[in-house]
Structure 1
């Protein structure tokens, strides 16, 4: 079931989220979730491919990014809160949907599938594995070293000042991870210049508030985990061992080429993987 009217915004938890609603009105719903430091536009090359295949895509600006959804408290960015926003969107578009997420969008997608399993038809996670697997990777792999920036983001005001006034260094870190200069300019326009940088860090700053036991949820939806050999911030261990938390069909796809930024770097490849999962 799909709504016959286009959705431009949804309201949840006193916040307003902008949504890009594209594709055939009667198409099966696919929810696309962006990561950090990006917004819904990260899916601009993937969504048209899914639309051409007959699917209707809903691409929200998530909590901390949407102009009407930027609470300031750390506790407003815990995984249950992030998942609740997307569950509210899925309720509005028919009650269940295929869910796809990249980076923090993937972490959110895992949480939606774990906390609200009845709402997720299939799950495609890109780069970031199941939260419990990610935590285990901290002690079983080099993930702790890769996650140095998460610790730095806990410092109040310092990351904001570096991004705004020491921009060249911030930009270099994104380029080092594989992002193109054009996409760095998009991040600067959509996140920093638009005033979303401080609140976009809420998901990172809420990590210390997370009880590890709360993310030990099982996944019943058919799931595909996509990881690239060019990943800088995420280890293969956390992605591949996500299978340990999946009770339904699970496929691990390791791409030999590509960086962390797959939605913009390899949209055709990623769209094919998504379609294989949701059509399977």
Structure 2
């Protein structure tokens, strides 16, 4: 389905019982709403109504020009706008990677719109900021940020038959083809990279404690987030909180460990 919000049109896949509790799923880079395909059947079987949306830069009708249009606050406003257009007062949020970053901000700044939060792979922004200050290893893990912000990032990722992009997706096997093919669409990769180009620490530096029930799912072979940021996330959630650590899995949790992630989401929602 297509959902119009804030003058943009977002691609959204809906599913599950129409009267089920609403769950909004937010993807990361360089994927799209299909990264949750393996998770959704379990949520539907539990009676939940799901909405997996392609965020700005990924939906063809939500691809504004200029990196400034991709500040994280714009993505937060998109979530609120989509919920409004769907007639949903509040929803359970599930976010992975950049989607988790957006979900943390929605939960922190608009808790009345969030029933529960399940953040996958990316910790509370303040926990990450602390880790970056005290752990040089965490700084090294995020060194790719500068590369993705560079003007040559598109050529690097898609050059040579998209070799670099395919290597990023190595652990998920043939499903990588879905995203590599999509990223060849004009403007789509630039839209995704503009999230990196637009990001400023000041955009998240004021985020306080999360007051909605929260689960943070982390995998021990994630090359992006180190243990300090993982453990200190608990400092920033005043509501019921659980850390779920999945062993032997890389950053691509929704596709490498959909059963474990479904268990965590369902336990958090309480169904």
TM-score where L is the length of structure 1: 0.91
Instruction: Work out the CA distance in 1 between the residues paired with 2:29 and 2:91.
Output: 23
Determine which of 190, 193, 196 is the counterpart of 1:201: 193
Deviation sequence 1:217-251 (CA, Å, 0-9, x none): 22111000000111111212212211111111111
Q: Contact 1:163–1:192 at 8 Å: present in 2 too?
A: no
The answer to whether structure 1 residue 51 and structure 2 residue 44 are counterparts is yes
Instruction: Give the TM-score normalised by the residue count of structure 2.
Output: 0.94
Is 2:143 aligned against 1:152? no
CA distance, structure 2, for counterparts of residue 68 and residue 191 of structure 1: 15
- Structure-2 residue corresponding to 1:236: 227
1:82 aligned partner: 75
Structure 1 residue 88 displacement after superposition: 1.6
> Number of matched residues?
268
Indicate the residue corresponding to 2:118 in structure 1: 124
Match of 1:227 in 2: 218
Cα distance, 1:194–1:187 mapped onto 2, change above 3 Å: farther
Which residues of structure 1 form unaligned runs of 5+? Answer: 1-7
Task: Give unpaired runs (5+ residues) of structure 2.
Answer: none
| Distance of 2:261 and 2:189 partners within structure 1 | 27
Name which of 170, 174, 179 aligns with 2:165. Answer: 170
Match of 1:257 in 2: 248
Q: Which shifted more, 224-233 or 236-245?
A: 236-245
**Inter-partner Cα distance in structure 2 for 1:229 and 1:95:** 35
RMSD of aligned residue pairs (Cα, Å):
1.6
C-alpha deviations, 1:162-220, integer Å up to 9, x for none?
12223223322432xx332x122111112234641011111111113x41664422211
Instruction: Verify: 1:191 aligned to 2:186, yes or no.
Output: no
